[in-house]
Each structure stands twice: as structure tokens, then as C-alpha cells.
A and B are shown apart, each in its own frame.
Chain A
């Protein structure tokens, strides 16, 4: 290759990556607009009656199940938590949103479990891959078992959310209100769409419903595209982060998992990435464990970003939910990974299940159907019977 063609291809690749970054900026803007659309849509459709609309999910177990199943079906916790932020902007009470966010954590673990099934014909490799995938499931399940009852009894996560949001936007000296340039950028297209739909004679309720549906669809499409683009652009940086983490212990693994998830905006990508790495036997289950937990923390960035788009009286609650999601995932790591007795439960459970899975693959099918679909239905039915 001549120097001229090399310089031409370098220029072309740099302009290509510049284009991709411009697209990401545009997509992030669309994500913010979409979240604003959901909030605005609920306000238009229900006025101040949104709380009544969400009464069906006032049972925390029902809310947990909705979060789990929605995420398991969509296979993106970022999408579901961004939608939840939009719903809170539209009037969904924070106390209902909290179990939904916890459910999103459980639902997202189905993706890497499915990825691990690709190794099904390779005996020991499948065993390691399946254990690396389900360690995330067990961690998130234990996290809910510990924190959901505490939240129901004491509302401690909600209190943390109030304190954190107060710290960020409440005080005079640290107020972000004056610096939030996102809301004025996001509002005009939503207003334009709302007015346009109103001008063609649609009622407020119909306009609101259209905004909600469009907002949800847009979040789904935008996050999918952002994930694809970032994966292309960030593979090199992800490699650097992983190289730097090798041989440096769990804190480094946790940090690299967080950073890579922030870079690719998808915990499923991060947790699925480790499945073949662990499956090959090159990385041990104990080595990938903290990396997986980092994905839980890194994925919170999308909802935080989404919360910046919300305006109006519910903006503070939308920010609270995003901060609660972050606090919940950090607390999970501190408590479960920090206490040796609890720390050992996810890897041991994952190893035991993987042993069974190697023996009979039908156990895998039973496990996936039970945890992600059957158990949630039983939980709802049981709690309804108990009159919760």
C-alpha cells in the first residue's frame, strides 16, 4: 500500500468515526426526547390521575414482576429503566418504580444465560460458560431478597434517593437547576409534536397515548442503535481497560466491568462478553464475578442520562429513581460482595446449577422458565391471595 492510499484510508476512517460519534450524539438526543415524550404523554393523557392508572402495580411484587418480565422480553435493562424514568416523569409513584427497577436487574440476566447456551455441546466449556452467566442471576436474585423486604418495611432506598437528589438539585450552592441545558433542548420537539397532533383534532388523551407509545418505541430503537455503534467504536478502549485489569484483583475487575458497561451502554453486552472468556477456562469464575457486578453499576448511566430530560414537577422524582437504581446496585455490591459469607453464595449456586446443567440440559430449561416466568407469576398470585 502506498503512503498516499494509506493516508487516504486513515482520513476516511477518521471521518467515518466522526460520523459515528455525531450519530451517537443525535441518538442520545433522541433518547432524551423519547423519555420526555413518555412523561409529557402521561401528563396529557391522564392529567393528575396517573397515580390511579398505575394502581395495578401498587403491589411491590407485581411491580418487581413487571420489571423482570419486561426486561427479559426486551432484553435490555437500559431500555426498561429509561422507560421507568419516563413513567415516573408521567406520574408513576417512586415507591412502585423501585421494585420495577429491581426487576429490571433480574430480567437482564436472561441475555447472558441464553448466550451461554451456545456452548451447550461442549461439556466442560458449557459448564464454565453457564456458571459465568448464572452467577449474575444469583447475585441479582439475592440482592432483591435482601433489599426488597427492607425497602417495603423502611423505604430506605427511597430515602437515599431523596437525599441524593436533594444534594444534587436542592441546595443553593450545588444546584444543577441553573446549569441544566438539556431540558430546554428537549422540550421544543415534544411541544411541536404535541401541538401538531392537537391541531389535527385529536383529543388530549389520544395525543398523550400516541406520545407514550412513540416514546417507548423510540427508546427501544435508540438504545439498540447506540449499543451497536458504541460496540464498534469502543472495542479498542474496552480492550485497554481489560488489559489493565488483568491480574489486579476484584476492585479492578469491578471497575473495568463498570467502565466497559458505561462505554457500550449495555450491561447485557458486558455480561455476555465474559461468557466465552470464562467458557474457555482462561478466566476463572471468581475472576469474572466482580466484572459482572461492575456491569450492574455501569448500566445505571442510561437512566441517569434519561432523567436529565425530564421537566416539570415530577423531574425530581425521575432523578430520584435513576439515583436509587445506582444506589441499589452499589449497595448490592458493598453488602453481598463485601460480606464473605454472602459473597460465596452466587458462585457456589452457579457452580452447582452448572453441574446439574451438564448432566441434563432439561434442568436449564426448567431453571430459565421458572426464574424468569413461572416464579414471577406465582409471586403475584401468592401476594394477591395474601391480600398484599
Chain B
């Protein structure tokens, strides 16, 4: 009986330890992610004008759709 209690305590201790390291790892990951986000925000000038380049995006999209349509029609024909 006492062996079982000891084993339980041992496992609970291991779980607590794992949970602590998990929380620590999560915190570290969060810090890395936030650092990455801050770095991206620092380059905001590159993105703030993205709304002015819609025509290029549309052109690229149209090329892809045209190719897709060609493939679909080609395979049917």
C-alpha cells in the first residue's frame, strides 16, 4: 500500500515537473513568436502600401485561373 502511495506521489511529482517545464517552454515559444511579430511590425513600410499593388495581384491570379481553366477544358477535350 505504501509502495502504491509512493509511486503515486512520484508520478504526481513528475507531472508537476513536466507541467512546469511545459509552461516554461510555452512562455519561451510565446516570447520567440512575439519577437518575430515585433520584427515584422518594424518592416511595416513594406506592407502599408500593399493596397496600392492590387493590379499586380489580380494579374498573377488571372494567370493562375487561366491555366487552371485551360487544364480543365484540355482534359475534357
Residues of A within 8 A of B (CB): 111-112, 114-121, 231, 235, 238-239, 242-243, 246-247, 264, 266, 268-269, 272-273, 275-277, 280, 282-283, 360-362, 364-365
Contacts and interface: CB of A to CB of B under 8 A. Distances in A.
Nearest to A241: B41
Contact of B58 (A117, A238, A361, A362): A117
Given A275-B50, A282-B37, A118 B42 contact: no
Contacts of B41: 239, 242-243, 246
B69 to A, nearest CB: 7
Contacts of B36: 282
B57 A117 contact: yes
Nearest to A231: B48
Interface residues of B, number: 29
A113 to B, nearest CB: 10
Contacts of A112: 51
A204 B41 CA distance: 54
Contacts of A276: 46-47, 50
Contacts of B42: 239
Interface string B42-77: 101111111101101110110011001100100000
B48 A273 contact: yes
B50 A272 contact: yes
A111 B48 contact: no
Nearest to B36: A282
Given A277-B40, A280-B40, A283-B37, A114 B65 contact: no
B50 A273 contact: yes
B58 to A, nearest CB: 6
Closest 6 CB pairs of A and B: A118-B57, A117-B61, A272-B51, A117-B57, A242-B41, A114-B54
B8 interface: no
B54 A111 contact: yes
Contacts of A235: 44-45, 48
Contacts of B72: 362
Nearest to A280: B40
B75 to A, nearest CB: 13
Contacts of A268: 51
Given A235-B45, A235-B48, A362-B68, A282 B61 contact: no
Nearest to B55: A114
Nearest to B35: A246
Given A117-B60, A361-B64, A362-B68, A243 B48 contact: no
Nearest to B54: A114
